[in-house]
């Protein structure tokens, strides 16, 4: 099994997104380096719009993550409610 990852700029916009990802993906791990937070997860990682909305208390358009996204790996599938990274097909 291979890891997928997603990384964000380490700032206040990203914090609730990172927290939501960690809550929704129990096997995911966040690694911090200067200015950057990288989340690794075995095989698959999901970003849920609803979890982020609960976290920040407002509507959230998943494409807002583009503002602070730094890099990612794996195949991507995105719709209005979630963004999935995986090595599955």
Partner 1 sequence: MDAQVKKKKLGLKPRYQAMTRGLDWQTSYQDMDKVFPYDKYEGIKIHDWDKWEDPFRLTMDAYWKYQGEKEKKLYAVIDAFAQNSGQLGISDARYVNALKLFIQGVSPLEYCAHRGFAHAGRHFTGVGARVASQMQSIDELRHYQTQAHTISNYNKYFNGMHKSNHWFDRVWYLSVPKSFFEDAMTGGPFEFLIAVSFSFEYVLTNLLFVPFMSGAAHNGDMSTVTFGFSAQSDESRHMTLGIECIKFILEQDPANVAIVQRWIDKWFWRGYRLLSIVAMMQDYMLPKRVMSWKEAWEMYAESNGGALFKDLARYGIRPPKGWEDACEGKDHISHQAWNTFYNYNAAAPFHTWTPNAEEMEWLTEKYPDTFAKYYKPRFEYYGEQHKQGKRFYNTTLPMLCQTCQIPMVFHEPGDPGSICYRETDHQDVKYHFCSDHCKEIFTNEPEKYVQAWLPVHQIYQGNCFPEGTDPTVEGFDPLAAVLDYYEIEVGKDNFDFADSEDRKNFREWKGGVEEEVSP
Q: Which stretch binds partner 1 (CB under 8 A): 18-26, 52-60, 62-70?
A: 62-70
Query: Considering the rule CB under 8 A, would residue 80 count as an interface residue with partner 1?
Result: yes
Asked if 50 touches partner 1 (CB under 8 A), the answer is no
Under 8 Å CB-to-CB from 48, ≥6 apart: which residues?
A: 20, 24, 81, 82
Count CA atoms within 13 Å of residue 35 on its CB side.
Answer: 1
Select from 6, 87, 7, 3 the least CA-distant residue to 42. Answer: 3
Q: How far is the CB of 22 from partner 1 (least distance, A)?
A: 19
Of 29 and 77, nearer to partner 1 (C-beta) is 77
- Determine if 45 is a binding residue for partner 1 (CB under 8 A): no
Q: Are 1 and 26 a contacting pair, CB within 8 Å?
A: no
Q: Which is nearer to partner 1, 9 or 54 (CB)?
A: 9
Instruction: Tally the residues of the chain.
Output: 89
Binding site for partner 1 (CB under 8 A): 2-5, 7, 9, 33-36, 62-64, 66-80, 87, 89
């Amino acid at each position: 099994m291979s890891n997928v990852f997603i990384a964000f700029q380490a700032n206040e916009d990203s914090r609730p997104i990172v927290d939501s990802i960690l809550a929704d993906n129990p096997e995911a791990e966040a690694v911090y380096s200067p200015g950057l937070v990288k989340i690794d997860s075995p095989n698959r990682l999901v970003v849920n719009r609803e979890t982020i909305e609960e976290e920040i208390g407002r509507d959230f358009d998943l494409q807002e993550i583009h503002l602070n996204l730094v890099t990612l790996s794996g195949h991507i599938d995105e719709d209005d409610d979630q963004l999935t990274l995986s090595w599955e097909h």
